Amino acid sequence: MKLQSRNKVEAAFSMASMTDMVFLLLIFFMLTSSFVTPSGLPVNLPSSKTSTIEVQKVSVTVTQDLQYYVNDKRVTRGTLEGMLKSNLGGPNGVVVLHIDKSVPTEELVYVAGIATALEAKVSIATKPK
């Protein structure tokens, strides 16, 4: 006489809830990683007490040896205004200046003047103290 249990225990584990959690974490990290876009050029930024995060549309970098870059593409001083105009696409844009702290203030004023003439908001990138 063989006695068998009517209730069988299934040894399988449901992975549905774990895959949902991994999917939600993936979406979270993808969204938050796009908010911070660091400049890929080696620039020694000045430091400040307060620092705010700006969503940058156009990044202008001036290196220590006075080379100009718009969104990591090298431009000359003469073609800077044309590149800014084409990248902004109209007024009310945001230009973030990544300027080395050893660069003369005259270069900062030059680039900021071009961006202001194009009716863009100008922000200077700094590193926190």
Q: What is the pLDDT of residues 76-105, one digit of tens each?
A: 988 988 888 888 877 778 888 888 888 888
7: in domain: no
35: in domain: yes
Give the confidence band of 34 by pLDDT, cuts at 50, 70, 90.
Answer: low
- 21-53 in b/e form (b: 16+ CB < 10 A) is eeeeeeeeeeeeeeeeeebeeebebeeeeeeee
33: in domain: yes
37: in domain: yes
53: in domain: yes
pTM given for the model: 0.61
5: in domain: no
Q: And the tokens for 44? A: 């020694």
- Structural domain that includes position 93: 12-129
What is the structure's pLDDT at 37?
A: 55
6: in domain: no
Give the confidence band of 33 by pLDDT, cuts at 50, 70, 90.
Answer: confident
- Count: domains in the chain: 1
16: in domain: yes
